[in-house]
């Protein structure tokens, strides 16, 4: 049974190889092949899952050693897989949501002549992402980490004929490189500290290591997580990544790849538990990003960018929970899974709306779509209720747990983190209600597109609506299913450990406060957008709104501090190079040249002058000899 | 007769030869001055041989004569070919070996 693990990765990898190398001959069946292999991976995952459920919690870690990758004295890198409860959760989410999005893409990309290639890239992504979560050492994880980065780059820039898409792909790649540097430095630090980078030995020997080293490793891992999961300060790429096709945004930039950072932190939990300073930084990053993403999400008129801000914010919740240590690990992963359902569903809904509206993304030009796209409306609506935490739906259970855990951290820290999480819940309710009202309610504000075609909104084909329905069902029931009887907690506890913390206020009070925040958020959004006419052209807005429209000036900040700073740095380095380094080199050359030019004059070609030097030399030697004799 | 006087003569001849090499331009004269220096050396060798009472100096004088004879052959050949190509026997005209 354990030998099936490699097949999980192999199936989509085979699909990618065949689809990308197969050429145009496969154009007609490429999408079916890609979907079939993704589904195959999901079936294997379910088989392994049922096998795992049949065992006692202690025996649930499967491993498979494939081959020795780099067998060198003192350096052992293996291609080996480890499937435990944490990996299993991810494998099911990735292959499950991945398969649904493959099915959705069949309809969404129907008119794109490069559909085969699109499916090849999607399969490549699945293979890399599964490798990332199945690896049993950090080096192999790094391979998957880079693989998803590559797939993300290829898919964001899939419509590369648009300069904006090509630029966005490059931006995502470059920002991710910064994070990847963090991961590679962390792996090097691990190797020098522990002499290995396999999960087991590294995480077991944490106790014998100094806290300083663990803090350094933890911070480098956090940098990696920030890059991949779009956390402050490496968040700027996610909004632009929405240039990619919508299924890509749903799969990679909402449900799976962007959660890799959370996986990394939870997987390295033992390191963070032993390094409280690094943990504190993790919670700060999570809390800041949570508010940052939420504020950006409030101001965007582009439906996908509003959802991207929301993704950033929700991952901020997960990172915050992961930073809380054993109190929060389980809830971080639980929110990750429920978020995978409802956010993928919301993105697919947004894609469906765009599909019916001539690819219009500006929500100010939507309105009243609920009558024209009933299935999209209902599924999007359920996703909406789930993300704002409507009682009984997925987001209610998972987000509530995170807010409770934040308070349970204890002390002033706990109060601050808990309040930030509560505030985030209110803002979430606000911006999601805004999206909902602007898209599906109110009056029609439809505008003809650039070629003058009036939009004729229609419901999407069943290949698109079925995945949306499945994800909506997940959004509704997953949270309750996980929480009732603490199923998810019991499932993950053997891997991540769990600690209840000391909650200063009872769970009921937290839930009540969350509900109050929810009502306030929805209420303000309704007063703002539900009761009034929504202008087609965005009003100028307050200072904060304008800043939030520009992603809270993150690009301006990067431009002024990093780009300009980098330019000044290189200029000053060039100046030093030209004056100091070149000065020394050129000065030496010039002085040697000048000296030899003067010495050259001695060679005048006159025999008599050579004779003088000969006689002079002889006279000197004779004089010296006589002098020596006299002494 | 005091053999040291021969050494004074040898010094005088050598100095005349060296001065001639340095100040004269005609290659033939320079060449003769070199011969003068060689012969001054020979005279010194022979005088030393006499003073020390052994034959080493005289043997060296013979060696010098053989070398001088060979040198005359080569040197004159160079001067003749130089004169043929440049129509001048001035050593200053042949100052091409410079940068």
CATH code of B63's domain: 1.10.287.3510
Residues B5 and B51: beta-carbon distance below 8 Å? no
Residues A305 and A382: beta-carbon distance below 8 Å? no
Other residues' Cβ atoms within 10 Å of the Cβ of residue A240: 22
CB nearest B95 (choices: A600, A605, A612) = A605
Subunit contact B22:A604, Cβ cutoff 8 A = no
Residues facing A65 on adjacent strands: A80
Asked if the model's pLDDT at residue A609 lies above 90, the reply is no
Subunit contact B91:A615, Cβ cutoff 8 A = no
CB nearest B22 (choices: A600, A603, A608) = A608
What residues of B are in contact with residue A603 (Cβ under 8 Å)? 97-99
Q: Nearest residue of B to residue A601 by CA position? A: B99
> To the nearest whole angstrom, how far is the Cα of B2 from the nearest Cα of chain A?
24
Residues A222 and A282: beta-carbon distance below 8 Å? yes
A554-600 tens-digit pLDDT: 888 888 988 899 999 999 999 999 999 999 999 999 999 999 999 88
pLDDT for position A311: 95
Q: How confident is the model at residue A273 (pLDDT cuts 50, 70, 90)?
A: very high
pLDDT for position A624: 96
Cβ-proximal residues to A189 (8 Å cutoff; 6+ apart), any chain: A213, A216, A217, A220
Asked if the model's pLDDT at residue A516 lies above 90, the reply is yes
CB nearest A604 (choices: B23, B94, B95) = B95
Report the alpha-carbon angle B1-B6-B10, nearest 5.
170
Average pLDDT of the residues in A515-527: 93
d(CA A363, CA A380): 14
CB nearest B96 (choices: A605, A608, A611) = A605
Other residues' Cβ atoms within 10 Å of the Cβ of residue A381: 16
Q: Nearest residue of B to residue A600 by CA position? A: B99
pLDDT for position B88: 87
d(CA B77, CA B53): 39
What residues of B are in contact with residue A606 (Cβ under 8 Å)? 91-92, 95
pLDDT for position A21: 92
Coil vs helix vs strand at B4: helix
pLDDT for position A42: 95
Structure tokens of A18? 């065949």
> To the nearest whole angstrom, how far is the Cα of B23 from the nearest Cα of chain A?
7
d(CA A11, CA A38): 7
Q: Which backbone phi and psi does A78 adopt, to 5 degrees?
A: -115, 150
> To the nearest whole angstrom, how far is the Cα of B86 from the nearest Cα of chain A?
16
Average pLDDT of the residues in A492-511: 86
Single out the residue of A297, A150, A187, A175 nearest to residue A233, CA to CA. A175
Q: How confident is the model at residue A279 (pLDDT cuts 50, 70, 90)?
A: very high
Subunit contact B97:A605, Cβ cutoff 8 A = yes
CB nearest A611 (choices: B21, B94, B95) = B21
pLDDT for position A278: 94
> Best of A597, A598, A600, A611 to disrupt the B interface by mutation (most B CBs within 10 Å)?
A611
Coil vs helix vs strand at A476: helix
Cβ-proximal residues to B80 (8 Å cutoff; 6+ apart), any chain: none
Single out the residue of A226, A87, A248 nearest to residue A153, CA to CA. A248
Subunit contact B98:A608, Cβ cutoff 8 A = no
Dihedral Cα A288, A561, A169, A348, nearest 10 deg: 20
CB nearest A612 (choices: B22, B91, B92) = B22
Subunit contact A607:B94, Cβ cutoff 8 A = yes
What residues of B are in contact with residue A602 (Cβ under 8 Å)? none
| Residue ranges of chain A whose CB lies within 8 Å of a chain B CB | 600, 603-608, 611-612, 615
Average pLDDT of the residues in A470-499: 90
* Interface size between A and B, measured as CB pairs under 8 A: 28
Average pLDDT of the residues in B42-55: 93
Q: Which backbone phi and psi does A195 adopt, to 5 degrees?
A: 75, 10
Average pLDDT of the residues in A172-201: 93
Residues A424 and A313: beta-carbon distance below 8 Å? yes
> To the nearest whole angstrom, how far is the Cα of A178 from the nearest Cα of chain B?
59
Query: What is the phi-psi region of residue A370: left when phi exceeds 0, alpha when psi lies from -120 to 50, beta otherwise?
Result: alpha
Residues A435 and A521: beta-carbon distance below 8 Å? no
Name the DSSP letter for residue A464: H
Please count the residues of chain B.
Answer: 99
Q: Nearest residue of B to residue A607 by CA position? A: B91
Q: Nearest residue of B to residue A608 by CA position? A: B22
What's the mean pLDDT when you consider all of chain A? 91
pLDDT for position A541: 81
DSSP H helical ranges for A357-483: 374-388, 394-408, 411-440, 462-483
Annotate A268-321 with DSSP letters as a single string: THHHHHT-HHHHHHHHHHHHHHHHHHHHHHHH--BHHHHHHHHHHHHHHHHHHH
A1-47 tens-digit pLDDT: 778 899 999 999 999 999 999 888 888 888 999 999 999 999 999 99
Asked if the model's pLDDT at residue A66 lies above 70, the reply is yes
Please determine, for the modelled complex, whether the ipTM score is greater than 0.90: no
Q: Nearest residue of B to residue A603 by CA position? A: B98
pLDDT for position B95: 79
Subunit contact A606:B95, Cβ cutoff 8 A = yes
Asked if the model's pLDDT at residue A450 lies above 80, the reply is no
Single out the residue of A118, A102, A108, A95 nearest to residue A32, CA to CA. A102
Average pLDDT of the residues in B61-76: 93
pLDDT for position B99: 60
Q: How confident is the model at residue A58 (pLDDT cuts 50, 70, 90)?
A: confident
**Beta strand A62-72 with A75-83: parallel, antiparallel or unpaired?**
antiparallel
Dihedral Cα B17, B23, B25, B26, nearest 10 deg: -30
Average pLDDT of the residues in B41-68: 93
A230-257 tens-digit pLDDT: 998 899 999 999 999 999 999 999 999 9
Residues A241 and A235: beta-carbon distance below 8 Å? no
d(CA A247, CA A256): 12
d(CA B4, CA B12): 13
Subunit contact B99:A600, Cβ cutoff 8 A = yes
pLDDT for position A410: 79
CA atoms within 13 A on the CB side of B8: 4
> To the nearest whole angstrom, how far is the Cα of B19 from the nearest Cα of chain A?
10
CB nearest B98 (choices: A603, A612, A615) = A603
Q: What percent of chain A has pLDDT over 70?
A: 100
A99-117 tens-digit pLDDT: 999 999 998 988 888 999 9
Structure tokens of A348? 């697919």
d(CA A12, CA A35): 9
Single out the residue of A198, A181, A182, A88 nearest to residue A134, CA to CA. A88
Number of domains in chain B: 1
Asked if the model's pLDDT at residue A467 lies above 80, the reply is yes
Subunit contact B21:A608, Cβ cutoff 8 A = yes
d(CA A416, CA A504): 13
pLDDT for position A334: 94
Asked if the model's pLDDT at residue B1 lies above 80, the reply is no
pLDDT for position A291: 94
Q: Nearest residue of A to residue B34 by CA position? A: A611
Subunit contact B91:A605, Cβ cutoff 8 A = no
Residue A498 class from Cβ within 10 Å (0-12 exposed, 13-18 middle, 19+ buried)? middle
Please give the residue range of the domain that contains residue B82. 5-95
Subunit contact A606:B18, Cβ cutoff 8 A = no
Average pLDDT of the residues in A300-316: 94
Subunit contact A605:B23, Cβ cutoff 8 A = no
Give the burial string for A184-213 (b: 16+ CB within 10 Å, else e): bbbbebbbebbebbbbeebbeebeebeeeb
pTM: 0.81
Annotate A556-590 with DSSP letters as a single string: HHIIIIIIIHHHHHHHHHHHHIIIIIHHHHHHHHH
Subunit contact B22:A600, Cβ cutoff 8 A = no
């Amino acid at each position: 049974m354990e030998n099936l693990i490699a097949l999980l990765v192999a199936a989509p990898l085979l699909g990618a190889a065949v689809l990308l190398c197969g050429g145009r001959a496969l154009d007609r069946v490429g999408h079916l092949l890609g979907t079939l292999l993704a589904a195959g991976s999901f079936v294997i995952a379910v088989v392994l899952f049922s096998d795992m459920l049949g065992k006692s919690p202690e025996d649930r870690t499967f491993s498979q050693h494939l081959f020795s990758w780099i067998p060198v004295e003192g350096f052992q890198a293996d291609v080996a897989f480890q499937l435990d409860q944490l990996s299993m959760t991810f494998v099911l989410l990735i292959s499950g949501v991945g398969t649904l999005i493959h099915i959705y893409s069949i309809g969404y990309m129907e008119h794109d002549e490069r559909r085969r290639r699109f499916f090849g890239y999607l399969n490549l992504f699945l293979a890399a992402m599964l490798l990332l979560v199945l690896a049993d050492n950090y080096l192999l994880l790094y391979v998957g980490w880079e693989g998803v980065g590559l797939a993300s780059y290829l898919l964001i820039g899939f419509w590369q004929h648009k300069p904006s898409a090509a630029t966005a792909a490059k931006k995502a790649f470059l920002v991710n490189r910064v994070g990847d540097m963090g991961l590679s430095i962390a792996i090097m630090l691990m190797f020098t500290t522990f002499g290995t980078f396999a999960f087991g030995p590294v995480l077991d020997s944490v106790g014998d290591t100094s806290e300083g080293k663990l803090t350094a490793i933890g911070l480098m891992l956090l940098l990696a997580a920030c890059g991949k999961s779009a956390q402050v300060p490496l968040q700027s790429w996610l909004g632009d990544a929405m240039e990619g096709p919508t299924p890509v945004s749903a799969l990679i930039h909402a449900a799976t790849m962007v959660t890799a950072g959370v996986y990394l932190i939870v997987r390295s939990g033992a390191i963070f538990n032993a390094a409280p300073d690094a943990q504190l930084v993790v919670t700060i990053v999570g809390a800041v990003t949570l508010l940052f993403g939420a504020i950006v999400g409030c101001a965007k008129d582009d439906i996908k960018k509003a959802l991207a801000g929301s993704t950033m914010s929700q991952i901020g919740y997960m990172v915050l929970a992961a930073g809380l240590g054993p109190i929060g690990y389980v809830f971080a992963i639980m929110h990750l899974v429920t978020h995978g359902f409802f956010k993928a569903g919301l993105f697919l809904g947004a894609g469906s709306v765009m599909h019916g509206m001539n690819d219009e993304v500006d929500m100010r030009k939507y309105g009243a779509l609920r009558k024209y796209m009933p299935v999209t409306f209902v599924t999007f609506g359920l996703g909406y209720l789930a993300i704002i935490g409507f009682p009984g739906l997925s987001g209610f259970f998972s987000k509530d747990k995170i807010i409770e855990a934040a308070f349970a951290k204890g002390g002033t820290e706990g109060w601050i983190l808990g309040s930030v999480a509560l505030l985030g819940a209110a803002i979430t309710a606000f911006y999601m209600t805004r999206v909902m009202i602007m898209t599906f309610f109110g009056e029609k504000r439809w505008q003809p597109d650039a070629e003058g075609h009036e939009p004729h909104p229609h419901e999407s084909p069943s290949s698109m609506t079925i995945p949306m329905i499945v994800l909506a069902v997940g959004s509704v029931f997953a949270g309750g299913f996980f929480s009732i009887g603490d199923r998810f907690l019991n499932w993950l506890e053997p891997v991540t450990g769990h600690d209840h913390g000391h909650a200063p206020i009872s769970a009921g009070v937290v839930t009540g406060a969350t509900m109050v925040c929810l009502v306030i958020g929805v209420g303000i959004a309704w007063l703002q957008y539900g009761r009034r006419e929504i202008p087609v052209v965005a009003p100028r807005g307050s200072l904060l709104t304008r800043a939030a429209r520009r992603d809270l000036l993150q690009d301006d900040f990067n431009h002024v501090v990093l780009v300009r700073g980098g330019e000044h740095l290189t200029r000053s380095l060039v100046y030093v190079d030209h004056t100091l380094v070149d000065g020394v080199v050129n000065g030496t050359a010039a002085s040697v040249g000048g000296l030899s030019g003067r010495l050259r004059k001695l060679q005048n070609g006159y025999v008599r002058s050579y004779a003088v030097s000969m006689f002079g030399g002889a006279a000197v030697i004779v004089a010296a000899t006589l002098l020596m004799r006299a002494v | 007769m005091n053999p040291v006087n021969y050494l004074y003569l040898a010094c005088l001849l050598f100095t005349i030869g060296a001065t001639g090499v340095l100040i004269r331009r005609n290659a033939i004269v320079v060449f003769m001055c070199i011969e003068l220096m060689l012969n001054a050396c020979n005279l010194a060798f022979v005088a030393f041989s006499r003073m020390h009472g052994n034959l080493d100096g005289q043997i060296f004088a013979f060696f010098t004569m053989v070398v001088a004879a060979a040198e005359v052959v080569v040197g004159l050949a160079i001067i003749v070919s130089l004169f043929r190509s440049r129509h001048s026997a001035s050593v200053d005209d042949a100052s091409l070996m410079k940068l």
